[in-house]
Amino acid sequence: MKVKNILISQTPPADFEKTPYADLKRKYSVNFDFYKFFKIENVSTREFRDTKVNILNYTAVVFSSKNTIDHFFSLIKELRVEMPEAMKYFCTTEATALYLQKYIAFRKRKIFFAKNSSTEALFELFSKNKDLKYLIPCSTDSVGTPYDEFFAQNEIEYSQAVVFKTVPADLKKDVDISKYDMIVFFSPSGIRSLRYNFPDFEQGEIAFGALGHAAEEAIEAEGWTVHAIAPTKAAPSITAALDIFFKDHATKRR
């Protein structure tokens, strides 16, 4: 298996030359194209009400990204839900916590974030607030949370709430899938989009890369093979995983 043309299923970077992909291009004489395989949409108020989730039944909200914050507050505005002053907010990173100020006042004892963005630090925060009932906004891509086992072991109440959804982009008019020797995926949405746009697609000699085990599992569920996976101990990033793969499979190495 030799690869020359690689399709990255993400939005093109603002400055390609400043990304690790540019280094790989120079090192292995490969070509990268970028095209996001899906688009994000709000769930409608009707769709949310059908889930039977009552936001006001919870006393804490957990945010994992700025994007999730935007969609959550857009939804509650449409639902005309007034967040209680006593509501507490937990964020996976300090940057996410600071972004939350766009919607609420940052006050001590109201917004918490994991120091060094570590899971252990976040679990420590949850442990100190075991009496709260947590709501975890997420997308339709989310199946379970990284906290399921911890919450279960510590008998902490929580629920997920889908606040945005991913839908396939129209790849057929802009992407010639047959020209690529490798496709790199970043979520199950990308795999679903490929299948939606090209229902007769067969992997054949095309290599697949995956960032995250959810994407890896979605690829394997289709009966396809993953050739480069991150994060791992040897490859903490997808570009590191590609570097390892290209050493044996790039058509040319400089």
Whether 254 is covered by a domain: the verdict is no
Residue 158's contacts (CB-CB under 8 Å, 6 or more residues apart) are: 62, 133, 134, 135, 136, 145, 147, 151
| pLDDT: which is higher, 247 or 254 | 247
pLDDT tens track for 10-27: 999 999 999 999 999 999
Number of domains in the chain: 2
Q: With bands split at pLDDT 50, 70 and 90, how would you rate the model's confidence at 108? A: low
Containing structural domain, residue 182: 5-37+172-249
Q: Which amino acid is at 102?
A: K
In terms of pTM, does the model score above 0.75?
no
Q: With bands split at pLDDT 50, 70 and 90, how would you rate the model's confidence at 50? A: very high
The residue to which tokens 């009707």 are assigned: 46
Q: With bands split at pLDDT 50, 70 and 90, how would you rate the model's confidence at 141? A: confident
> Does 186 score more than 70 pLDDT?
yes
- Are residues 205 and 189 part of one domain? yes
Q: What torsion do the CA atoms of 92, 98, 103, 109 make, to the nearest 10 degrees?
A: 70
Complete edge-to-edge strand list for the sheet that includes strand 182-185: 31-34, 5-8, 182-185, 207-211, 228-230
Give φ, ψ of 73 to 5 degrees.
Answer: -75, -25
Task: Look up the CATH number of the domain holding residue 219.
Answer: 3.40.50.10090
